[in-house]
Structure 1
Amino acid sequence: MPRFAQLVMGPAGSGKSTYCSTMVQHSESLNRSVQVVNLDPAAEHFDYPVMADIRELIQVDDVMEDPSLRFGPNGGLVFCMEYFANNFDWLEESLGHVEDDYILFDCPGQIELYTHLPVMRQLVEQLQQWEFRVCGVFLVDSQFMVESFKFISGVMAALSAMVSLEIPQVNIMTKMDLLSPKAKKEIEKYLDPDMYSMMDDNSDNIRSTKFKKLTKAICELIDDYSMVRFLPFDRSDEEGVNIVLQHIDFSIQYGEDLEFKEPKVKMHKHLLKHSKMSCLVIAMHLAV
């Protein structure tokens, strides 16, 4: 039997632990068993039980206090993750092997782990060897994404993780519940963006010809290949949380042997469009 996993990724402060907590509570309401593994050696606290905690193996504070290493916070975290990659047997023992496992891996927020370091890719490959079907869940703070240039930066961060890990990925805008009604209305255009119009809106703010060409190339790449789209995540909206979970379940084929039931929830227009696009992207991944 396959096992299932979400790699919950995103910048520091994007709401990864809150997302895990919400998903655990939501799954309990559906009588589904979901476990969480903390992979952040610098984590301070979380309000849900974990089946494994990397801090039992190594902690950033211990590394930083070691006089022979003299690492700062970022260097210490990288050291911890590389140590973790050399000790996957600890994770295997902690996970055990129970049929139909569904595990959320709460990952660190340092972007270099998903760009030029091999640690997360090694983790994905190891999980796949353990018969896990893995989906990347990349979170960005919706409060950060309300300006075009910041949005493009967030898109590139999500894209870097997607390219590095080569697994199905669902991108999510978190903390929608913290936005004002006006901001919620404005951010809808970023959920399924028209990159060409976004580029035109900001062309006057770019003085350098080189940067204007670079921005145009990035926008065209994202738009032409429909590579990155976002789902909204409001932890207080059960319907919205369920839609996000349905997208992720589909990407890893969770419950494919169960009897199909028509969803009772009605998708908003942008979510329905995203659903169709997700099917296309996931089909491309499965075909590779």
Structure 2
Amino acid sequence: MRYAQLVIGPAGSGKSTYCYHILRHFEAERQSAKVVNLDPAAEHFEYEPLVDIRELIHLDDAMEDDDLKFGPNGGLVFCMEYLLENRDWLEEQLGEDDDDYILFDCPGQIELYSHMTVMKDLVEVLQNWNFRVCGVFLMDSQFMIDGAKFLAGTMTALSVMVNLVIPHVNVLSKVDLLGKSAKKQLERFIEPDARNLLSDVANNSRWHKKYQALTEALGALIEDYSLVRFYPLDLRDEENIGDLVLSINNVIQFGEDADVQIRDFDPPEEDE
């Protein structure tokens, strides 16, 4: 059995930084983990990737092609579809080692996860290669500390969960960058009461009066599904990182298939 975290989320949510720190955590625990870069537009990351999609196709290849003439968004979609068409290349690069633990650092185009099928198809490919896959969806906590933005972010996370149909952990990243007052506000969003958060959105503007019923319906949808919970991540807190990794490992049952190590001991010598 092999294990994978599909690290997804909007651009700038800290996916590559997350992969780097999780890799360091595994090294500190004397465990093996690797990272695969699946972002064809990546310019810099701190880890050394096991596989780099840019060796197969780069975003510039799609954008500079005279026939394709893609923009950045269309180019990213094309690159991911090209990867799936060349899945044999990815399979060869990954190798066939059992007990692999791989973090897939994905692009930051949210449409790839929320309603398109390309990432869902990639998940099915990984599962066929004997991977247990957990989606790790990152949202920047700096933009999630008021009711309106939080409802929007929660709807995005819910859309991704419904589209990918895999075990899922939602993470509020960059908590270490929040000030004290913002961290206090964040506490009420960790396990959100969507109907209660509507009070933050309510106001007397014409916009709110016109769309009040829609806002309430969105809040009811989030509450009724009751699937979205966020885990706050402070990269300066090693215990916090360890708890998150433990939660993800429980989801994918990492380590449960390992053989029990039995050591033989010589019987104690009798005292003369």
TM-score by length of 1: 0.87
Kept in 1, the 8 Å contact 2:140–2:174? The answer is: yes
Distance 1:201 1:249 in 2: 35
Deviation, structure 1 residue 41: 0.3
Where does residue 231 of structure 1 map in the other structure? Answer: 231
Secondary structure, aligned partner of 2:172: strand
- Give the C-alpha shift of residue 120 in structure 1: 0.3
Say whether residues 1:142 and 2:152 are aligned partners.
no
Provide the rounded CA distance (Å) in 2 between the counterparts of 1:248 and 1:142: 19
Structure 1 CA distance for aligned equivalents of residues 114 and 182 of structure 2 = 31
Amino acid at match of 2:231: L
Pick closer, same or farther for the CA change 1:122–1:189 going to 2, 3 Å. same
Partner residue in 2 for 1:68 = 67
Percent identity between the aligned chains? 58
Cα offset, 1:200, TM superposition: 2.6
Give the SS at the match of 1:143: helix
SS of match in other structure, 1:133: strand
Give matches, 1:11-30, under 5 Å.
Answer: 11-30=10-29
Report the counterpart of residue 200 of structure 1 in structure 2. 199
Displacement of 1:5 in angstroms is 0.3
| Deviation (angstroms), 1:171 | 0.1
**Are 2:146 and 2:200, in contact at CA under 8 Å, matched by a contact in 1?**
no
Post-superposition shift, 1:211? 2.0
Structure 1 position 43, deviation (Å): 0.3
Corresponding residue of 1:81: 80
> How much is the aligned-residue C-alpha RMSD, in angstroms?
1.5
What residue is the counterpart of 2:222 in the other structure? 222
Q: Is residue 176–residue 234 contact of structure 2 (8 Å, CA) maintained in 1?
A: yes
User: Structure 1 residues 205, 40: closer, same or farther in 2, change over 3 A?
Assistant: farther
Residues 134 and 168 of structure 2 are in contact (CA less than 8 Å); yes or no, is this contact kept in structure 1? yes
Distance in 2, Cα, partners of 1:221 & 1:109:
26
**Deviation readout 1:72-97 (Å, 9 max, x if unpaired):** 11111111111111111111001011
| Unpaired segments ≥5 residues, structure 2 | 261-272
- Of the two, which has the highest radius of gyration? 2
Whichever residue aligns with residue 219 of structure 2, its letter is C
| Cα displacement (A) at 1:259 | 9.3
Q: What secondary structure, in the 3-state scheme, does the structure 1 residue paired with 2:202 have?
A: helix
Instruction: Tell me if structure 1 keeps the 8 A contact 2:10–2:138.
Output: yes
Report what 1:179 is aligned to: 178
Instruction: Verify the 8 A CA contact 2:39 2:105 in the aligned structure 1.
Output: yes
Per-residue CA deviation, residues 149-190 of structure 1 (Å, 9 max, x unaligned), is: 111111111111111110010000000110111111111111
- TM-score between the two structures when normalised by the length of structure 2: 0.91
Q: How does 1:242-257 map to 2 (within 5 A)?
A: 242-257=242-257
Secondary structure at 1:6 match in 2: strand
Q: Cα gap change, 1:205/1:232 in structure 2, threshold over 3 Å: closer, same or farther?
A: farther
Equivalences, count: 259
For residues 96-111 of structure 1, the aligned pairs below 5 Å read 96-111=95-110
